[in-house]
Homo-oligomer: A and B are copies of this chain.
Amino acid sequence: MERTRTFGWSDPVPVAHAARTESGIAFLKRIAGRDRQQAAPVAECLGFQLVEAEVGKVVFELMPGEHHYNPIGAVHGGVLATLCDSATGAAVHSRLPEGAGYTTLEIKVTFLKAVTVASGLLRCTGTVLQFGSRVAMSEAHVIDANGTLVAHATSTCLILQPKA
């Protein structure tokens, strides 16, 4: 192999535990603060970061690299789907109280423009469309370094309320 990449991560069990023992926004703000011990392993694997988190809105960034490529010469759609899924999920997470959790039911991603290393830094913003006691819907917009919309997604999450 001509190129290699090495990444590391921490035991995800304590992180997942923390995700239920503090409010969503407190948890996300620690990750956005670049506490790398808190980052999701998959974020280290693919190389994306949560960079902003407020209640109801989050931003992730990813710098496209050759290691994201599909066999046909562009960033694999799944990498964009992963970025979108992170943003739609975290937007919902940002509104959860301590003790609550969520799980993603589905996501639809629309690919508006091919992404390559020439696209520059991608910013993916997740926002909540609807937040109820049992279900939440959110959307994500991915823009490239020129501000062009390259992908859009909508997703549905199930909210897991704390046990009484």
Contact = CB atoms under 8 A, between A and B. Distances in A.
B89 A85 contact: no
Interface residues of A, number: 73
B78 A42 contact: yes
Contacts of A81: 78, 81-82, 85, 107, 109
A86 interface: yes
Contacts of A45: 5, 45-46, 67-68
Given A42-B76, A106-B108, A107-B109, 15 more contacts: A1-B44, A2-B8, A5-B6, A5-B7, A7-B67, A9-B66, A19-B72, A19-B73, A31-B71, A42-B78, A46-B78, A70-B89, A81-B107, A107-B108, A110-B129
